[in-house]
A and B are shown apart, each in its own frame.
Chain A
Amino acid sequence: MRVFYIAVLMLALTTGANAQQNYDVSLIPKDLLPYASAVVRNEEVNIEVKDDDNTVYHVKRAITVLNKNGDDLARIVLWYNKSNPIRGLKGLTYNEFGKPVGKFSEKELVDQSATASYSLFDDSRVKHFIPSIGSYPYTIEYEYEQRSRQSLNFDDWQPNSEPGLAVEKSTFVFICAPSFRIRYKEINVPVAAVTGTTKDGLKTYTWQLKNAKAIRNEPMSPNKEEYLTSVKIAPQDFKYEGISGSFTNWKELGQWNYDKLLASRRALPAATVQQMRDLTAGITDPKQKAKKIYEYMQGKTRYISVQVGIGGYRPFLASEVDQTSYGDCKALVNYTQALLDAVGIPSWYCVVQAGSRKISLLSDFASQGQGNHIILCLPFKNDTTFVECTSQKIPFGFLSDFTDDRNVLACTPQGGKLMHTTKYAAQTNLQARRADLVIGDDGTLTGSVNTVFKGTQYDNREDMLDEPRTEQLKRFPKLYPSINNLEVDAYTFKQDKNILPAITEDLKITARDFATNDNGKLYFSVNPLNRTGRRLRDIRNRTTALYINSGYTDDDVITYKLPAGYKPEFNMPNVSIEKPFGKFTVSATVSGDKLSFKRHLQLVDGTYDKALYADLVSFYEAIADADNYNVALVKK
């Protein structure tokens, strides 16, 4: 009997092993190897909605790491909190030949707080683990389950989200009761969803990606979301932290946010209401009133982020901010709304994806998780103004490149409304410089430099305005690194804090040894004030479109008075290039003892045909060459 028993067991084991995929590295299709540091051999992500407050993720993943650079791609990183516990992680490691060499389980994972650096407290945590077998290549295979006590947000499926990661096969299955209605958004999926029914009568939606090559990092690419494969899913009827809701579009989702998370948070103490009325007494223009109140809010509050449970979506009470004078973006927007309410100015709470990359909420697909920040919209008649409430110094109505030019969701009492924030065009983001400089016989540079920073270029100087003088003086040599021995003898800053703000910087400078005397020649850099410096990497076989995220204009005019008796040895740069994405002109001319240098550079934001990338490379090349040009003066 014993022999028989063992035989059965062995049979079972072999059957099990046969069901396993063979992770021999030589079986990876050869065309997946270029630019790949790791290859997803097989991935199965299942999301099952068991109830409106119970979603279960089942994830199974096998990744082959080809070299050291792939370690990070194979790293297991699991975010969780009390409402999203992880269960039963277990995994195996395989060597190059697909032979199992080790195993691991949840207890090997390192558990850490995931509070972001900008946050005081956050209830999210992370478990992570880098497997190792001591040599490359190797394969790890693991699976785990994660529960989520809600049905509002589902993780996107993004099978090839990182450069250097190739995908042999990834499958995504969404499972729910036939009565649970969903909407989904497919982006760059090779095959549209296949629907089916399980033997238990549940509805399934399945997507698959096979044999996707590794993506190479290409400079000036569009946002990843635009060229990678992903699927987003949104429910119709859902529950979140015990609150039910239903939506099929932005209007309904905005309505739910307004009704359930925002509407009842704005009560203020009577004294504060009165204070706002007193503060704005005598001002008739509602925009001026709003500005006054906004500036009061800026002076009173500061940004402190605390995120716990529903607090991730629901602001602190306005009365609480009134008392503590701090809050996160939600709390400060909500508080500003409350202050504006006191003087009868309507305002809308807006969800936005913030960051210098412009990422819009999808106009054709409503879902809750698309934004990471809140700003405020003031819907005046014929004038829509957006304001940022987390900065103590940003001018009223100015968004900077943090939230400009993108779709946001305004949560109004009448429902959600997709709006577009202010765009700062290339000609608006202006840095205009006029310099009058004198080069002495000994190579010393003296003179004055006047620069105006406007639009998003306002930020070039904004953060140093409040610094102490000693620190500001330390900053100038770093801001103008191409002038050695730069001494700023005197300077002023003038700030125009308008909706389109500007800063004017006036410098009186001296720099010894600016020009080098060698063999009776005098050498100096013709453009020491504004060098782009950057050359673009040429990309052969580029796959993505050319994308310029934000545009700007730099205009520089420098007049040099040369020491007596010198003239330039060579012809000086004279370049003029005009392309769809921008223009660059530079010229240097000598007349008498005056050298006049003019440089104008404009880059226009937008998406362009990828074929234009080669032009952009030579465009930057021409800029760098002109910027690096050294004048050689010889005795007349």
Chain B
Amino acid sequence: MIKKISLLALFVVTSAASRAQDFRYGGITADELYLKTYKNDTSARAVYLNDYGTTSLNIGSDDHVQIMHERHVRIKILKTQGFDKATIEIPLRVREQDEEVAEDIKGFTLNVTEGGVETRTQLEPAKIFTEKNNKYWKTVKFTMPNLKPGSIIEYSYMLRSPYWWYFPEWMFQDDIPKLNSKYEAHIPGFWTFNVSLRGPYKLTTNNAELERECFTYHAAKADCSHLTFAIADVPAFTEEDYMTSRKNFLSAVYFELSEYTNLGTGAKIKNAKEWKDIDYSMKHSDYFGSQLKKKDQLKPYITPVIAGKTTELEKAEAIYAYIQKNVKWNNITSYGSEGVRKTLDSHTGDVGDINLALVTALSAAGINAEAVLLSTRANGLINKLFPVENDFNYVIAKANIGDKTYLLDATDPLLGFGILPLRCLNDQGRVMSLDKPSYWIDMPTKQRKAQTSAYDFTLQPNGKLKGTITAYYIGYDAYEKRKAIKKFNTTEEYVENLDEQLTKTKIISSEITNLDSLNLPITEKYEVEIDAFDKGNQAKLAFNPFFFDRITNNPFKLTERLYPVDWGMPSDDRFILNMHLPDGYEVESAPQGLGISLPNGGGKFITNFAGEGNNFTFSNVFQLNKSVYEPEEYPYLKELYNKVIAAERAEIVFKKK
């Protein structure tokens, strides 16, 4: 739901510097003061009465270009639960000597007694704190004094930034409603930004005016575009379960630099207007293109790795495994690298370090490999209206072998060749190769998670079930199973723990195969004895075939769903149970076979019962075939689960003949 805003709209030319449209600081009306609830949402814990921001580019005292971003907020606190809105955090970028600063911070809390006596408590400068979070960020924090339900808080500050290419975005929406949310941008003609709007709400104000000669730098002068965006009565954003990044849905306006003028030389510099510009700049950058060209540097590392490997696939698998095992991910996402060789030497690195090293190492082995830029699920969807390098926060490798392509992420040593971690399965990725123009590919690949279990049990006269359980885990399920096993120091410890967990099941022997063969399905096989029935001697025994993983709770509980359900990737679970009854027993009643499906092949649940003499077979398939279900599909999904829960209650009854 990203819309491009046309800047070609008619400009209204204003004479002087246009008047600021900020609301008056401290000018609180009686209506605001005595407001008890917000009429459009009586459950609101607080409401923005006014939220105003303005950003302009100008020249700072150091003669450098700077961004000045002013924010002015007035909030009515309606309930004590709304007190959290009175603690403000302003994140500031810090890089060496170039720091963003927040200044002119002021604020007050206004309370009124029942008798109508107003008191204003000012925010004290001594109670404004600056925390140095890490190398890159600082945070200015303060909290408003003297809060009560009914308080109005008002604050404003100015953020000054030397990073003029990061034009601040504006969030129209928050987790409390806003009566008015307005943003003004003053952009001198020396700069061009692409503007995009996200979210379902219509702008109630969308103006573009021209301001004459609003910007001067020595002799250079420029007119400014003065853009005003506003939305009135923006509802609170409520998060739902099974949802991707909230950023994908929040109403906001974003700015991306597309072109600027070098104020010293007057030269116009394109900042990626089209993909070919981004392709060019990335291919020539130290952090990306140059790293991909360092094949020769990596050759000494991979020559021993691929020694003896004949096919390209074998080589690729060996290189992938080598980087997976040899470099530890430091949990930082990135798409560039300071040096791929350094990464291999230091055995630790960012995503960019690891996966660019992988691409380069694959190329060094003569394998056709490309890098794929992507945005993780937490980072949100990518803006496809115009190319924005900063939308990406991750990179993976794409190996093209024969007529097949494999997407590879070496940050996790347990991932099979061609399996991506869930965080990568988001929207689309942009393939960047050194010799071709870049292009999009779908990121939710064919990847799926699947498991199949086979139970073969014989009922013993003492009421115990004896037999075997064999389970195969495929695709992402194999990865998750490996992760679960590797949480233990040895497989013996894993099995011991499993045995302890399944208190009614005694594991007599176990066999786990392909634990370390990441490209094969992993198999668990157990010989077990289960205490199924207290006494084997009853005339009738009831048995629920879903005795290991019975679904009893519906994960979908809402009556109304606003946003899509994010299931991650298609899933496929199936089991087959073979049961042998001792002589003298027979099946009295069994559940009816059942088949339920979602519309448009979205998923299905099937059970089947077949019995003859004292043997019977019960099988079940549960598939969800989509990664994302639209809100319209929610009722079906919910109902499918209802039916599954109902079906899984039914029992097989056997009796003595």
> Does A113 belong to the interface (CB within 8 Å)?
yes
Residues of A within 8 A of B553 (CB): 481-482
Residues of A within 8 A of B145 (CB): 323-326
B141 adjacent to A120 (CB under 8 Å): yes
> Does B614 belong to the interface (CB within 8 Å)?
no
Within 136-164 of B, Cβ neighbours of A (below 8 Å) are at: 141, 143, 145-148
A392 adjacent to B80 (CB under 8 Å): yes
Contact pattern, B 3-47, Cβ under 8 Å of A = 1, otherwise 0: 000000000000000000000000000000000000000110100
B325 adjacent to A135 (CB under 8 Å): yes
> Does A570 belong to the interface (CB within 8 Å)?
yes
A135 adjacent to B326 (CB under 8 Å): yes
Residues of A within 8 A of B540 (CB): 569-570
Residues of B within 8 A of A135 (CB): 325-326
Residues of A within 8 A of B328 (CB): 71, 130, 132, 134
A324 adjacent to B127 (CB under 8 Å): yes
* Distance, CA A135 to CA B348, complexed state (A): 11
A516 adjacent to B557 (CB under 8 Å): no
Band of interface residues on B: 35 or more
* Distance, CA A474 to CA B43, complexed state (A): 13
A524 adjacent to B557 (CB under 8 Å): no
B500 adjacent to A68 (CB under 8 Å): no
* Distance, CA A463 to CA B382, complexed state (A): 38
Contact pattern, A 259-292, Cβ under 8 Å of B = 1, otherwise 0: 0000000000000000000000000000000000
A535 adjacent to B646 (CB under 8 Å): no
B503 adjacent to A617 (CB under 8 Å): yes
- With beta carbons under 8 angstroms apart, the residue of B83, B121, B487, B653 that contacts A569 is B653
- With beta carbons under 8 angstroms apart, the residue of A468, A477, A482 that contacts B42 is A468
Within 424-476 of A, Cβ neighbours of B (below 8 Å) are at: 466-471, 474
Residues of A within 8 A of B121 (CB): 323-324
> Does A197 belong to the interface (CB within 8 Å)?
no
> Does B469 belong to the interface (CB within 8 Å)?
no
B503 adjacent to A121 (CB under 8 Å): no
Query: Chain A's nearest CB lies how many Å from the CB of B14?
Result: 43
> Does A506 belong to the interface (CB within 8 Å)?
no
- With beta carbons under 8 angstroms apart, the residue of B132, B327, B413 that contacts A113 is B132
B347 adjacent to A324 (CB under 8 Å): no
> Does A186 belong to the interface (CB within 8 Å)?
no
B493 adjacent to A35 (CB under 8 Å): yes
* Distance, CA A279 to CA B301, complexed state (A): 79
Residues of A within 8 A of B127 (CB): 324
A482 adjacent to B552 (CB under 8 Å): yes
Residues of B within 8 A of A115 (CB): 131
- With beta carbons under 8 angstroms apart, the residue of A113, A120, A299, A482 that contacts B143 is A120
Contact pattern, B 380-414, Cβ under 8 Å of A = 1, otherwise 0: 00000000000000000000000000000000010
B642 adjacent to A540 (CB under 8 Å): no
* Distance, CA A162 to CA B141, complexed state (A): 35
B347 adjacent to A630 (CB under 8 Å): no
B131 adjacent to A466 (CB under 8 Å): no
Instruction: Output the nearest chain B residue to A101 by Cβ-Cβ distance.
Output: B347
> Does A11 belong to the interface (CB within 8 Å)?
no
**Residue from B348, B489, B544 having most chain A Cβ neighbours under 10 A:** B489
> Does A497 belong to the interface (CB within 8 Å)?
no
A513 adjacent to B131 (CB under 8 Å): no
Query: Chain B's nearest CB lies how many Å from the CB of A398?
Result: 18
Residues of A within 8 A of B591 (CB): 518-519
- With beta carbons under 8 angstroms apart, the residue of B327, B557, B590 that contacts A478 is B557
Residues of A within 8 A of B133 (CB): 112-113
> Does B87 belong to the interface (CB within 8 Å)?
yes
Within 116-165 of A, Cβ neighbours of B (below 8 Å) are at: 120-121, 130, 132-135, 164
* Distance, CA A337 to CA B363, complexed state (A): 72
A304 adjacent to B143 (CB under 8 Å): yes
A134 adjacent to B326 (CB under 8 Å): yes
> Does A244 belong to the interface (CB within 8 Å)?
no
Given A135-B326, A524-B649, A536-B503: A67 and B147 interface contact (C-beta under 8 Å): no
> Does B542 belong to the interface (CB within 8 Å)?
yes
Within 296-325 of B, Cβ neighbours of A (below 8 Å) are at: 325
Contact pattern, B 635-657, Cβ under 8 Å of A = 1, otherwise 0: 00000001001110111010000
Residues of A within 8 A of B646 (CB): 484, 513, 516
* Distance, CA A478 to CA B135, complexed state (A): 42
A516 adjacent to B146 (CB under 8 Å): no
Residues of B within 8 A of A569 (CB): 540, 542, 653
Residues of B within 8 A of A521 (CB): 589, 650
B493 adjacent to A325 (CB under 8 Å): no
* Distance, CA A535 to CA B504, complexed state (A): 10
A133 adjacent to B503 (CB under 8 Å): no
B650 adjacent to A68 (CB under 8 Å): no
Residues of A within 8 A of B325 (CB): 134-135
Within 501-524 of B, Cβ neighbours of A (below 8 Å) are at: 501, 503-504
> Does A537 belong to the interface (CB within 8 Å)?
yes
B650 adjacent to A518 (CB under 8 Å): yes
Query: Chain A's nearest CB lies how many Å from the CB of B237?
Result: 14
Given A324-B146, A621-B503: A302 and B83 interface contact (C-beta under 8 Å): yes
Residues of B within 8 A of A519 (CB): 589-592, 650
B134 adjacent to A110 (CB under 8 Å): yes
> Does B439 belong to the interface (CB within 8 Å)?
no
* Distance, CA A621 to CA B500, complexed state (A): 12
B500 adjacent to A304 (CB under 8 Å): no
Chosen A-B contacts, 24 in total, with CB atoms closer than 8 Å, are A66-B489, A69-B486, A69-B487, A69-B489, A115-B131, A121-B141, A324-B145, A325-B146, A392-B80, A466-B81, A468-B45, A474-B558, A481-B553, A484-B646, A518-B649, A519-B591, A519-B592, A523-B649, A538-B503, A539-B500, A570-B542, A617-B503, A630-B544, A632-B653
10 closest A-B pairs by beta carbon, nearest first, are: A468-B43, A134-B347, A121-B129, A132-B328, A324-B145, A477-B557, A134-B326, A516-B646, A481-B553, A518-B650
Given A121-B131, A569-B542, 10 other A-B residues pairs in contact with their CB atoms under 8 A: A111-B135, A112-B134, A134-B326, A135-B325, A393-B80, A467-B81, A468-B43, A468-B45, A523-B651, A617-B503
- By a beta-carbon cutoff of 8 Å, the part of chain B in contact with chain A is 42-43, 45, 79-81, 83, 87, 121, 124, 127, 129, 131-135, 141, 143, 145-148, 325-328, 330, 346-348, 413, 486-489, 493, 496-497, 499-501, 503-504, 540, 542, 544, 552-554, 557-558, 589-592, 642, 645-647, 649-651, 653
